Amino acid sequence: MGTKRRRKEIAGLPGYLLLLVLLFLWLFQELRPRPAPPAEAGAAEVYFMPEEGPRAKARLLALMDGARESLEGAFYEFRDLEIAQGLLRAKARGVRVRLYGESDYREDFRRYLVAASLGQTQEPPRVPRAALRERVRPTSIDCEEVAGIPVCYDEREGFMHHKFLVVDGKAVWTGSTNMTWNAFARNNENSLLLPSPTLAQGYAREFEALFRGEKEGLGEPVAFALEGVEGVAYFSPKGGAKAREALLEAVARAQKEILVAAFVLTDRKLVEALERAHRRGVSVRVLLERRNLQDSLEEDLLKAGIPVRQDGNPYTMHHKVLVLDGTYVVTGSYNFTARAYGVNNENLLVLQSPSLAERYRKEVLRLWEAGSPL
């Protein structure tokens, strides 16, 4: 009996080992770093508001005026007549223009697009109710046509907080900058133009999902590479867990320096990651928007010995930026809150680029010097 049992155990051993080998190979494939995609032609462009606001606005309008096939915009806020005019010019040329917006700002989408269609140029526009009735046509529960442009809205409890535009499926404009005149003229903001078809098609898929009613989006990360830049874009809330994990991993990898410029900072796991970085000898500095100090976790940072300053802009310091070791940049629409990864529609970019990191580092340090210590 004992001999038979031993024979059965020995006979079953190769199958057991085979399963272990297959499991090991699967884990190796899943956990090993993915190879970077081949670099596409073109270079990233970055703009910092308000100093570069006029140049950034001109570049954005030039993108709209150069579009040949499609413009797909997911915009949290929309209060800028020049941008509205650019979208209408594209539509008049036969470009397919579609917008997805936050329902809290539905009236602004209507007012600005209709005002632009009436030829108004003065901010803020004044639109007769009769014109709104004539030029706003409901098409479904969450969608309407405004001055001939299809606009759908997010009606969820969370914010549709994106600020991105996909141009012809070939380039993406994204960052912290809302489509409002004051974002370009007054606030501290950052916008990126990334001429990557790979990235643009990923953003276009996310837009398409939202536009057709998948309110949480697809949440599929998109890896891309341009000249001097490698990166991954993440989308919340469907892919929010991956976005947050990438953010925390970037902080955990830092060895020398982390600079933070944050409109708001309430994600306790991120704060704890910054504290751990500080304890292992990384230089950590955090700049916060002053009006959100009561909501942010600055007291925890200060108790940990991390220098914290409030910004000096009388309007809004709206960045959501980390610069790490002069090499990595984290940016996007994604505020450093639990809602950003779990509830809101957001996009987060993790970029490896010494040249971009240098630009962002200079911006954060400039604002740091203008800020006040807590």
Residue 91 Cα to chain centre, angstroms: 26
Sign of the four-CA dihedral 141, 146, 148, 152:
negative
- Closest listed residue to residue 86, CA positions, set 109, 63, 53: 63
- Closest listed residue to residue 201, CA positions, set 152, 151, 166, 232: 166
Strand ranges across the sheet with 346-352: 222-226, 229-236, 346-352, 328-332, 320-324, 257-262, 283-288, 308-310, 372-373
Q: Are 309 and 368 in contact (CB under 8 A)?
A: yes
- Strands (E) across the chain are located at 45-49, 70-75, 78-79, 96-102, 136-138, 143-146, 149-154, 163-167, 171-175, 179-180, 189-194, 222-226, 229-236, 257-262, 283-288, 308-310, 320-324, 328-332, 346-352, 372-373
- Half-sphere exposure in the Cβ direction for 195 (13 Å, CA): 12
List the catalytic residues: 318, 320, 325
- Closest listed residue to residue 91, CA positions, set 58, 54, 116, 111: 116
Residues 6 or more apart in contact with residue 34 via CB below 8 angstroms: 223
- Closest listed residue to residue 357, CA positions, set 274, 257, 265: 257
**359 sits in which H/E element:** helix 354-370
